[in-house]
Amino acid sequence: MSFNNHNDTMTQEDENNKMPGNRRLDDTLAALLARRKTRNQFRRLTTVPPGSADFSSNAYLSLSSHPQVQQAFLDLLQQHATHSTATTQPATARNGPPSTSTTGGPGLLGSGGSRLLDGNSPLTERLEQQIAAFHDAPSGLLFNSAMDANVGIFSCVPQPGDAIVYDELIHASVHDGMRLSRIPPERRIPFAHNLICDTPSPPSSSTPPSSSTPPSAPSSKPTPKSLESTLRHLCQSDPSYHTGTRNVFIAVEGVYSMDGDVCPLLSLCTLVDTLLPRGNGHIIVDEAHSVGIFGGGRGLVAHLDLQTRIFARVLGFGKAMSCSGGMILCSPVVRQYLINYARTLIYTTSMPFPNLAAIQVTYDFLSSPSVAAPLLANLWAHTKHAHTLLTTLVSRQQPPPEILSVNTHEPESPVIPVFTSHPRSLAAHCQKNGYMVRPIVAPTVPRGKERVRVCLHAGNTTSEIEGLVKAMEDWVVSSQKGNEQTDVIPVEKAKL
Could you give all domains of the chain from N- to C-terminal order, each with its CATH number?
53-64+370-480 (3.90.1150.10), 122-200+221-367 (3.40.640.10)
What is the pLDDT, as a whole number, of residue 11?
58
Q: Ramachandran region of residue 285, left (φ > 0), alpha (ψ -120 to 50) or beta?
A: beta
Confidence category of residue 494, pLDDT binned at 50, 70, 90: very low
Average pLDDT taken over every residue of the chain? 88
| H/E segment holding residue 122 | helix 122-134
Cα dist from 18 to 3, 8, 24, whole Å: 19, 15, 12
Residue range 205-223, pLDDT digits in tens: 445 554 444 444 445 678 9
Q: Count CB neighbours of 243 within 10 A.
A: 13
CA distances from 1 to 6, 7, 8, 389 (A): 15, 14, 14, 68
State how far the Cα of 19 lies from the Cα of 28, in Å rounded to an integer.
Answer: 15
pLDDT above 60 (res 10): no
Instruction: For residues 113-120, give the mean pLDDT.
Output: 90
- pLDDT tens, 248-278? 999 999 999 999 999 999 999 999 999 999 9
Q: Tell me: pLDDT of 318 over 80.
A: yes
Residue 442 is predicted with a pLDDT of 83
Q: Predicted confidence band at 111 (pLDDT cuts at 50, 70, 90)?
A: confident
User: 3-state DSSP call for residue 205?
Assistant: coil
How confident is the model at residue 415, as a pLDDT? 98
Q: Give the pLDDT of residue 460.
A: 98
The whole-number pLDDT of residue 209 equals: 55
**Average pLDDT of 58-74?**
95
What count of other Cβ atoms lies within 10 Å of the Cβ of residue 210? Answer: 8
CA distances from 324 to 71, 274, 295 (A): 18, 38, 21
The per-residue pLDDT for 425 is 96
Report the SS3 class of residue 401: coil
Predicted confidence at residue 371, as pLDDT, reads 85
Look at residue 493 and tell me whether its pLDDT is greater than 50: no
pTM over 0.85: yes
Positive or negative, the Cα torsion across 177, 181, 185, 186?
A: negative
Each residue's pLDDT tens digit, 153-176: 999 999 999 999 999 999 999 999
pLDDT score for 491: 37
**C-alpha distances in angstroms, 492 versus 34, 44, 210, 214, 218?**
16, 20, 19, 12, 10
Q: Please name which of 147, 197, 200, 192 lies closest in space to residue 165, comparing C-alpha atoms.
A: 192
β-bridge mates for residue 284, sequence order: 251, 312
Percentage of the chain beyond pLDDT 90 is 75
Q: What is the mean pLDDT of residues 29-36?
A: 96
Taking CA atoms, 25 is separated from 16, 32, 38, 486, in Å, by 11, 11, 20, 35
Mean per-residue pLDDT for 170-184?
A: 98
Question: How sure is the predictor about 343, in pLDDT bands with cuts at 50, 70 and 90?
Answer: very high
Instruction: Using CB atoms within 10 Å of the CB of residue 406, give its burial: 0 to 12 exposed, 13 to 18 middle, 19+ buried.
Output: buried
251 DSSP β-pair partners? 166, 284
**What is the strand order of the sheet 326-330 is part of?**
139-143, 326-330, 312-316, 281-286, 248-253, 163-167, 188-191
Pairing of strands 435-436, 312-316: unpaired
pLDDT at 413: 98
Closest CA to 438 of 461, 415, 458: 415
Region 445-462 average pLDDT: 95
pLDDT, greater one: 371 or 140: 140
Distance, CA of 141 to CA of 323 (rounded, Å): 16
For CA atoms 398, 402, 407, 411, the dihedral sign is negative
Phi, psi of 170 (to 5 degrees): -60, 155
**Would you state the pLDDT for residue 118?**
87
Task: With cut-offs at 50, 70 and 90, classify the pLDDT of residue 106.
Answer: low
How far is residue 174's CA from residue 382's CA, in Å, rounded to a whole number?
31
CB burial string 455-490: b at 16+ within 10 A, e below: bbbbbbeeebbebbbebbbebbeebeeeebeebebe
Q: What is the pLDDT of residue 89?
A: 52
Helices 462-480 and 423-432, packing angle to 10 deg:
130
Q: What pLDDT, in 10s, does the model give residues 406-443?
A: 999 999 999 999 999 999 999 999 999 999 999 999 88
Cis peptide bond prior to 209, omega within 30° of 0 = no
> d(Cα 55, Cα 417) in Å, to the nearest integer?
12
